[in-house]
Amino acid sequence: MNKEQKYHITIEETRPSFGVSFKVELEDHHGNYTCVYEPSLEEALIYAKNWCKLADLREENEKRNAKAIIEMMKLDKEAGITTRFRDGLD
């Protein structure tokens, strides 16, 4: 893998009315971002580790989904079910 893998990870202890939790903010080298709350520091670290491990797979899936949407839009246009500002599926 030639691409530099850079992650921004912030884990912050919070004290909402229902007890202590840990806010986990993550951004990967593809620009994907997530924010979750975990009940313990250990679970926050496990979540962060797994999320970072799946960064490249997540990016591949996003690209595949975008390509599929573009293909569907192309097929809709060819079939004549779209107009200038609306699709014909309402």
Cα 54 to Cα 34: distance, rounded to the nearest angstrom:
13
Does residue 2 lie within any of the structural domains? no
- Which pLDDT tens digit goes with each residue over 63-84? 999 999 999 888 888 887 776 6
- Report if residue 66 sits inside a domain: yes
24: nearest Cα among 7, 15, 13 = 13
Please identify which residue in the block is written with the tokens 């939790």.
Answer: 21
Instruction: Determine the average pLDDT of the residues in 17-40.
Output: 94
Q: How confident is the model at residue 88 (pLDDT cuts 50, 70, 90)?
A: low
Domains of the chain: total: 1
Provide the residue range defining the domain that includes 66.
Answer: 8-79
Q: What is the pLDDT of residues 30-52, one digit of tens each?
A: 999 999 999 999 999 999 999 99
**Distance between CA atoms of residues 7 and 52, nearest Å:** 7
Residue 71: half-sphere exposure toward Cβ, Cα within 13 Å: 6
